[in-house]
């Protein structure tokens, strides 16, 4: 009489296989999430730096435009007064963490003027210059940019 053969089905996964698969999946997900977070932080810092540069260039252009059309420059402490050919005097003053134009209009809106920001009148070889050293900072992201300009008063 033939003997009955019994086959045991070995379907499914062992505990070791499940643990190894779970560990490998966790490592892959951790690596991917770390790379994603690094990308987002880098992108945020790049965006802030771009905004700082845009605001710094805007402020520097405004000061340079007024200085080019001025005939005289007088400095009194941190305040510089530029006298145009026509119209009334224009003053620029470093007040706290901002630069004010004509005593009331803040030129900086989103960022702070850092320590070392200066506006000065210089006289050299019969020419008058306005020197601007602007340090813009974003304190929350610890990002800063420095802008420097020497502008000759064309009408001096």
Q: Taking the chain, what is the end-to-end CA distance rounded to the nearest angstrom?
A: 123
* Separation of alpha carbons 156 and 136, rounded Å: 30
- The pLDDT assigned to 97 comes to 87
- The pLDDT assigned to 4 comes to 61
Q: How many domains does the chain have?
A: 1
- The pLDDT assigned to 6 comes to 59
- The pLDDT assigned to 86 comes to 86
- The pLDDT assigned to 156 comes to 64
- The pLDDT assigned to 10 comes to 65
* Separation of alpha carbons 113 and 101, rounded Å: 14
Question: Does the residue 1 lie in any domain?
Answer: no
CA geometry: angle 97, 116, 78, nearest 5 deg: 70
Tens of pLDDT, residues 39-79: 998 898 899 999 999 999 999 999 999 999 999 999 998 89
Determine if the pTM surpasses 0.95.
no
Question: Does the residue 5 lie in any domain?
Answer: no
- The pLDDT assigned to 134 comes to 92
Residue 139 β-bridge partners: none
Question: Does the residue 9 lie in any domain?
Answer: no
Question: Does the residue 10 lie in any domain?
Answer: no
Range of the domain at 129: 15-152
Segments of the chain with pLDDT less than 70: 1-10, 156
Question: Does the residue 8 lie in any domain?
Answer: no
Helical spans, DSSP H, in 69-147:
none
């Amino acid at each position: 009489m033939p003997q009955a053969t019994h086959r045991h089905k070995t379907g499914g996964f062992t505990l070791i296989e499940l643990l190894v698969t779970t560990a490998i999946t966790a490592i892959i997900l951790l690596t991917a999430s770390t790379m994603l977070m690094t990308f987002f932080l880098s992108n945020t810092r790049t965006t802030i730096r771009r905004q700082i540069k845009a605001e710094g260039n805007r402020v520097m252009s405004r000061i340079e435009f007024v200085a080019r059309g001025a005939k005289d420059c007088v400095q009194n402490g941190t305040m510089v007064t530029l006298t145009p050919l026509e119209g009334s005097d224009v003053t620029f003053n470093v007040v706290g963490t901002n630069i004010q134009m004509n005593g009331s209009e803040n030129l900086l809106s989103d960022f702070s003027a850092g320590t070392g920001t200066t506006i000065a009148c210089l006289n050299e070889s019969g020419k008058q210059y306005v020197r601007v050293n602007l340090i813009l900072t974003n304190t929350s992201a610890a990002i800063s940019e420095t802008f420097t300009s020497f502008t000759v008063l064309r009408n001096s």
